[in-house]
Structure 1
Amino acid sequence: MESKVSEGGLSVTLTIRLLMHGKEVGSIIGKKGETVKRMREESGARINISEGNCPERIVTITGPTDAIFKAFAMVAYKFEEDIVNSMSNSPATSKPPVTLRLVVPASQCGSLIGKGGSKIKEIRESTGAQVQVAGDMLPNSTERAVTISGTPDAIIQCVRQICVVMLESPPKGATIPYRPKPASTPVIFAGGQAYTIQGQYAIPHPDQLTKLHQLALQQTPFPPLGQTNPAFPGEKLSLHSSEEAPNLMGQSSGLDASPPASTHELTIPNDLIGCIIGRQGTKINEIRQMSGAQIKIANATEGSSERQVTITGSPANISLAQYLINARLTSEVTGMGAL
């Protein structure tokens, strides 16, 4: 949050950044941009929305404080209207609160929380809104998410108080702003053709062929999640060929002829294993089907913070299974959600 401080308390220009999901942003933009145009005209605030190829978008609201509060009120009431409309088709009886997420430099979060949580408690009690400051910084930034939920009126009062705190305690040092990453689409190679996954379907993607070959050769398609073996960052590597092992899938899945099966072992932290397995094993089954490899996840052992994962199949099967596992891990670690 930036501010051009002038005399007279809150008569200043502010910039407030909001983090929104695609559906929320669509609601703010409206048909042919009509809603956001009206918000800009009626509030007098500048409202900018970051690029659209990301699951999350940053909405930046800039202007004098009265314009900012008008814009915030319009956003909060629009979200309230969306909730009411969605409930008309739903059996739910209790109305969920409106929720907004501000993006605030981490250096200002201490002032917002206050000594022993005193300031945030005061804001909660005086406005009736729920306020949560995230413990961790947003990926690749020095900013944190501050989530506000409640009635539109409570949210507006809450934002007013947060703005006062921000103005009294400007950010210290340089702020690295949070920039949401585009949603990455996994590419799959089968039968001499590259495919991208869109929902439930694999769509042929000839342009990605060369890229996929490079990924399979490098076998390090994603940034290291840890530093162990240089060949496979983030994994403890144990490759040993088992010449006499049968072809486990009974067919090549179009990925390879049928060379001798190999086994590759890696370890994954317990707190990340859930994103690999998925609800009732859906994700691990998808990875098995897509890669054509056999994947076994060892049971948790007492006192260990890691789980052993064994991948068996042809080198191409193993390479693709690793690629898909790394894609899941990376999406979880970077907070991009499910691929």
Structure 2
Amino acid sequence: MEPPKVQSEGGLNVTLTIRLLMHGKEVGSIIGKKGETVKKMREESGARINISEGNCPERIVTITGPTDTIFKAFAMIAYKFEEDIINSMSNSPATSKPPVTLRLVVPASQCGSLIGKGGSKIKEMRESTGAQVQVAGDMLPNSTERAVTISGTPEAIIQCVKQICVVMLESPPKGATIPYRPKPTSTPVIFSGGQAYTIQGQYAVPHPDQLTKLHQLVMQQTPFTPLGQTTPAFPGLEASPPASTHELTIPNDLIGCIIGRQGTKINEIRQMSGAQIKIANAMEGSSERQITITGTPANISLAQYLINARFRDVTAMWNDPAAMTTS
């Protein structure tokens, strides 16, 4: 049977489901105070908008309905994100407005059609809508889905989503799809000052009490270890591991995003990780800067995690779209 054709303006009343991957902060913006924003989006667009449960750094937002209602819902989300960007810029020195970015979750079996032969389809989408489109090379963990990132003005994003919907309707997924389900963060637990923390997004969050109690128990047990036995009472949970040093090299043009305005970002990373972080002065003729991180292995891994998270946020916008696109 011939799959349904759909006009680029969503002329056919075809029901479709689109899944979006969002960070916690973005989800909070979509839900709004007491759920008012998402309620308004549901009412005005006519689309079903569901948000996955769970205390995860990432959440799935599912939009279902006839294509025209999906486009309305996407328009409302894109304009809301633009509003958030404008609000965040009011107290920032940046002069150029960053683009709105949405991440779709698409079955890998449909990504070939989105990219097209030799990248022809994705190139056509970029040129005709003005939006940047990237298809991730790897599948999302424990799934057969890939992330498709769209960046640009709200208008460009809406046009791009329309074209993606057309492709998805004309090339249905092949075989069974294992959907991506974000997992609660599985970052190691960091112990500091008798309190346990886990990392959620870019923040250290106090961990449930039982782990703190376990840590306190370890702290109490350690002095009673029999003489000559260096292994702590609970293997792998040392009370105070020895300090060590780790070095990173960072390109000069990215060092600013790690330091932040008047050092705010680097100080935040220092505070959250508990590590000492020193940034060497720029060397003449070198395009890189040396960063030295000193502390316990847990402090160092947390500092590295936070630096990498900062990188991902910034480089995602700068990345050459073609670099991430694979068939």
TM-score by length of 2: 0.62
Match of 1:143 in 2: 145
Deviation sequence 1:138-169 (CA, Å, 0-9, x none): 11110000011111111111101100000110
Note the alpha carbon deviations across 1:249-302, whole angstroms, 9 max, x for none: xxxxxx779999999999999999999999999999999999999999999999
Quick check: 209-218 or 15-24, which moved more? Answer: 209-218
Q: CA 1:184–1:220 in 2, change beyond 3 Å: closer, same or farther?
A: farther
- Given that residues 295 and 309 in structure 1 are in contact (C-alpha distance below 8 angstroms), is that contact kept between their aligned partners in structure 2? yes
User: Using the alignment, how far apart are the partners of 2:197 and 2:298 within structure 1?
Assistant: 15
Partner of 1:209: 211
Q: Which residue of 2 aligns with 1:276?
A: 258
Secondary structure (helix, strand or coil) at the match of 1:334 reads helix
Structure with max Cα Rg? 1
Conserved? CA contact 1:10–1:164, under 8 Å:
no
- Give the stretch that moved more between structures: 138-147 or 207-216: 207-216
Question: Which whole-Å CA distance do the structure 2 matches of 1:69 and 1:261 have between them?
Answer: 54
* Runs of 5+ consecutive residues of structure 1 not aligned to the other structure: 235-254
User: Contact between 1:297 and 1:310, CA under 8 Å: does it hold in 2?
Assistant: yes
**Partners of 1:75 and 1:226 in 2: how far apart?**
62
More deviation, 297-306/145-154: 297-306
Q: What pairs up with 1:1-339 in 2 under 5 angstroms? A: 10-184=12-186, 186-187=188-189, 207-209=209-211
- Using the TM superposition, give the Cα deviation of residue 120 of structure 1 relative to its aligned residue in structure 2, in angstroms: 0.8
Distance 2:169 2:155 in 1: 22
CA-based RMSD: 9.2
Q: For 2:108 and 2:158, how far apart are their aligned partners in 1?
A: 22
Change in Cα spacing, 1:69 to 1:282, as seen in structure 2 (3 Å) is closer
Deviations 1:73-113 (A, max 9, x none): 10011111111111221121111111111000000000000
Identity %: 91
CA contact (8 A) 2:12 2:67 kept: yes
Give the CA deviation at 1:10.
3.2
Structure 1 residue 304: deviation in Å? 24
Check 1:95–1:176 CA distance in 2 against 1; reply closer, same or farther (3 A cut): same
Distance 1:273 1:219, change over 3 A: farther
User: 2:320 & 2:86 partners in 1: Cα distance?
Assistant: 32
**Distance verdict in 2 for CA 1:272–1:160, change over 3 Å:** closer
Q: Is the 8 A contact 2:138 2:146 kept in 1?
A: yes
Change (3 A) 1:227 1:145: farther
State the secondary structure of the residue aligned to 2:298: helix
CA contact (8 A) 2:187 2:199 kept: yes
Q: C-alpha separation between the residues in 2 aligned to 1:44 and 1:157?
A: 19
In the alignment of these two chains, the number of paired residues is: 317
Q: 1:194 and 1:26, CA in 2 relative to 1: closer, same or farther beyond 3 A?
A: closer
Alpha-carbon distance, 1:186 to partner: 3.7
Q: Post-superposition shift, 1:183?
A: 2.0
- Contact kept, 8 Å, 2:18 with 2:104, in 1: the verdict is yes
Q: Does the 8 Å CA contact 2:41/2:76 hold for their aligned counterparts?
A: yes
Q: Name whichever of 124-133 and 35-44 sits farther off.
A: 124-133
Which structure features the higher share of helix residues?
2
Contact 1:256 1:314 in 2 (8 A): no
Q: Residue deviations 1:285-333, cap 9 Å, x none?
A: 999999999999999999999999999999999999999999999x999
Deviation string, structure 1 residues 119-141 (Cα, Å, up to 9, x no partner): 11111111111111111111111
* 1:171 Cα offset (Å): 0.3
Q: Give the 4+ runs in structure 1 shifted more than 3 A.
A: 4-10, 184-207, 209-234, 255-329, 331-339
